[in-house]
Structure 1
Amino acid sequence: MTEPNTRAAVAAARRLVVKVGSSALTTAHDGLDADRLDTLVDGIAGRVSRDSQVVLVSSGAIGAGIAPLGLRARPRDLVTQQAAASVGQLSLAHAYSESFRRHGLRVGQVLLTADDVVRRAHYRNAQRTLSRLLMLGVVPVINENDTVATEEIRFGDNDRLAALVAHLVGADALILLSDVDALYDGDPRQGATRRISEVTAESELAGLRVGKSSSGLGTGGMLSKVSAASTAAAAGIPVLLAAAAHAEDALGAAEVGTAFQAAKSRLSARRFWLGYAAGPVGRLHLDDGAVAAVVRRRRSLLAAGITGVEGEFEAGDVVDLVDPAEQLVARGVVAFDAVELPSLIGYSSRDLAPEQRREVVHADDLVPLR
């Protein structure tokens, strides 16, 4: 898929996810910016009027709560962030409801924690709820549930959440909107940088100097957007990264920003969940032969190719597979408890007892990662 085709796919998407960051909706002193929010809603409403279904992933709850609470800046401690989100979420939801009402559109608020995507049962429930909302003609407005999310169950940023939601709802495209108009090969504030129009392979991102949000309001910055775009593109979803100020163009002809070319095939819901949503609870260290078998030949992982075990996990848990340089190469569902594996690693199947000869990670439960 070339750049024109990638942008055409985004422009023609029948179902798409749009993510907007805090810095595009709020200011540190005045809180929620109604004009910016209306501009975004106008662009989404225009897309809906052309028979597209849109899911909006919106940051801004904490930012919207800063001014009403008299805070000078985004709080750094978790409990104050949760308090600000509690106040700001009501303002944000009301603002979206009133703004979409101008176009005769209904919105539904959906608050998620990482648990809702990591756990398969929760994942399927969120999938059913969002699908039903879209069938009813509602625009779902999704945010991380900052009021109750703890450090252990946070997505970390809404860019990753948007990539996960895009696959969860079967989106045809993902649009990431922020305060930056495109991806550059360095910090555009420092000059002498080149705007990147399209990313066709993840290898093209090596060496790029991208950083965090400059506004102090967001948690992600360009690094999280590139990571989210790469995740979605690897799963078969074309992505457009653009400025929120250019929302109308991004949601129209998609001829702004940076396009991320999608992989030729789309991962199944289970394989996407396994590779990008599930929370790994351990690590298996592989030798070079096992890496080649798992990654290049898509074979099951056997005990003979394992050199080390980390973590406390049980059979059925998700674990990371790393190469001799400790680089992540795959993720899968392990068939043994952590306490069972040390006595098995390095042995070929014929040297093990019959009940121990099964694959450590079966090929059907394994996803190679780039």
Structure 2
Amino acid sequence: MATEMATVQQDMNRQDATAPTATPPTATAPSVTRPFVTEARRIVVKVGSSSLTTAAGGLDADRVDALVDVLAKVRSGGEKEIVLVSSGAIAAGLAPLGLTRRPKDLARQQAAASVGQGLLVARYTASFARYGVRVGQVLLTTDDTSRRAHYRNAYRTLDQLLAMGALPVVNENDTVATDEIRFGDNDRLAALVAHLVRADLLVLLSDVDGLYDGDPAKPGTSRIAEVGGPRDIAHVEIGSAGKAGVGTGGMVTKVEAARIAAAAGIPVVLTSASRAADALAGRDTGTYFQRTGRRSADRLLWLAHASTPQGSLGLDEGAVRAVVEGKKSLLAAGIAAVEGDFVAGDPVELRDSAGRPVARGLVNFDAKELPRMLGRSTPELARELGPEYEREVVHRDDLVVLG
């Protein structure tokens, strides 16, 4: 690591002339029209792999430095805090391992992440050091965030880093994550981190300068400046990951992340990394997603969007009404079927008689315990099986209604 840091520092010593410009040299900078941005104190910024690396893999030092220049300036007055959710670990590890494209198999993805994560953090550490800013690496998996104790630890770590003046650099822990316990993309992770740290704003940076009403590469399409809710873009055909092959997202994941954050009461700006300065200055660039909801209980957002159900419970009609309409806990008496191999504390889906998911929750019993409990009242279970069975199968505090 010392050798890598020395190399990074040597690269950085050259004059940085690549800071992102808000507009072309001949254009007039947009005026400040988004006061909610300038008023935001705690901001989560997410940057994608394609904005940090070359198409062949490997970090682009100038791009990293350009982003750091913008973020360091935003927080320089001491009034704003930045949490950076950064992709790029797998992409950064491609070239050093002789890979030309992102591998499809999980083992080689993990190997590339192992090599690339060290390079990525070393680059950020050296680049932010030019401004006297310390960075702290935080790697997360869904298991770290959907379970109560792990969730609290994630929040405390991020909050303490910010309190001590450090800048957290968050990424998914690709070196150990499996397909079953992955966020799937860092756009969704960024939306959930924004909710976790109680951010005032989420900024999603990519290689496209906003959401368009069609393919932005084709003539006749226009940037959508503002989205008030899902209905505003129901007619828009949204594209997937780009041609570079170094990332996993695309506009689909960014719009979904914006929807999650907006529904949790957090406004979102989606734009390109080259326009980051304008976006963070509150200028009319990219696409602004208005808040569509209020902040919910912290863990419930993670449970709804970050957890992977390990099984399912089939509910009778009465239980569906109690859970969905009455906001009640789920009792054994209302369960008709059990599927999956889960243990107490795992997330499970709650389904109606037609098999449709109606809710998700953290179960209090192992799958092997439940069959003998089905359809039976809580007092009856306590009498026959013991007092430890006198509790809800899924408590309402650990349950979120879907849809």
TM-score (norm 2): 0.79
**What CA distance in whole angstroms lies between the structure 1 residues aligned with 2:287 and 2:353?**
35
> Could you say if the C-alpha distance between residues 78 and 29 of structure 1 is closer, same or farther in structure 2, counting changes exceeding 3 Å?
same
**C-alpha contact (below 8 Å) 1:16/1:174 kept by paired residues:** yes
Q: Which one of 216, 223, 240 corresponds to residue 212 of structure 1? A: 240
1:75 aligns with 2:106: no
Instruction: Specify the alignment match of 1:10 in structure 2.
Output: 37
Note the residue ranges of structure 1 that are not aligned, 5 or more in a row: 1-5
What letter is aligned with 2:278?
D
**What CA distance in whole angstroms lies between the structure 2 residues aligned with 1:194 and 1:297?**
44
1:369 aligns with 2:397: no
**C-alpha contact (below 8 Å) 1:15/1:54 kept by paired residues:** yes
Moved more, 263-272 or 335-344: 335-344
Q: Which one of 55, 73, 87 corresponds to residue 46 of structure 1? A: 73
Instruction: Specify the alignment match of 2:257 in structure 1.
Output: 228
Q: Which one of 124, 132, 141 corresponds to residue 104 of structure 1? A: 132
Q: Which one of 64, 70, 84 corresponds to residue 37 of structure 1? A: 64
Larger radius of gyration: 2
> Could you say if the C-alpha distance between residues 296 and 83 of structure 1 is closer, same or farther in structure 2, counting changes exceeding 3 Å?
same
C-alpha RMSD of the superposition: 3.0
> Could you say if the C-alpha distance between residues 111 and 203 of structure 1 is closer, same or farther in structure 2, counting changes exceeding 3 Å?
same
Note the residue ranges of structure 2 that are not aligned, 5 or more in a row: 1-32, 384-388
**C-alpha contact (below 8 Å) 1:7/1:240 kept by paired residues:** no
> Could you say if the C-alpha distance between residues 354 and 98 of structure 1 is closer, same or farther in structure 2, counting changes exceeding 3 Å?
closer
**What CA distance in whole angstroms lies between the structure 2 residues aligned with 1:174 and 1:185?**
22
> SS of the counterpart of 1:83?
helix
**C-alpha contact (below 8 Å) 1:183/1:195 kept by paired residues:** yes
**What CA distance in whole angstroms lies between the structure 2 residues aligned with 1:145 and 1:333?**
23
Instruction: Specify the alignment match of 2:386 in structure 1.
Output: none
Alignment size in residue pairs: 364
Greater percentage in strand: 1
The CA deviation string for residues 248-270 of structure 1, in whole angstroms up to 9 with x for no partner, is 11111152222222244211223
What letter is aligned with 2:401?
P
Q: Which one of 336, 353, 357 corresponds to residue 328 of structure 1? A: 357
Instruction: Specify the alignment match of 1:255 in structure 2.
Output: 284
The CA deviation string for residues 67-107 of structure 1, in whole angstroms up to 9 with x for no partner, is 23332222222232223223322322222122212222221
**What CA distance in whole angstroms lies between the structure 1 residues aligned with 2:54 and 2:282?**
29
**What CA distance in whole angstroms lies between the structure 2 residues aligned with 1:350 and 1:115?**
30
1:201 aligns with 2:234: no
> Could you say if the C-alpha distance between residues 97 and 210 of structure 1 is closer, same or farther in structure 2, counting changes exceeding 3 Å?
same
1:116 aligns with 2:116: no
**What CA distance in whole angstroms lies between the structure 2 residues aligned with 1:17 and 1:350?**
45
In the TM superposition, 1:264-275 aligns within 5 A as 264-275=293-304
> Could you say if the C-alpha distance between residues 299 and 86 of structure 1 is closer, same or farther in structure 2, counting changes exceeding 3 Å?
closer
> SS of the counterpart of 2:62?
helix
**C-alpha contact (below 8 Å) 1:349/1:357 kept by paired residues:** no
TM-score (norm 1): 0.85
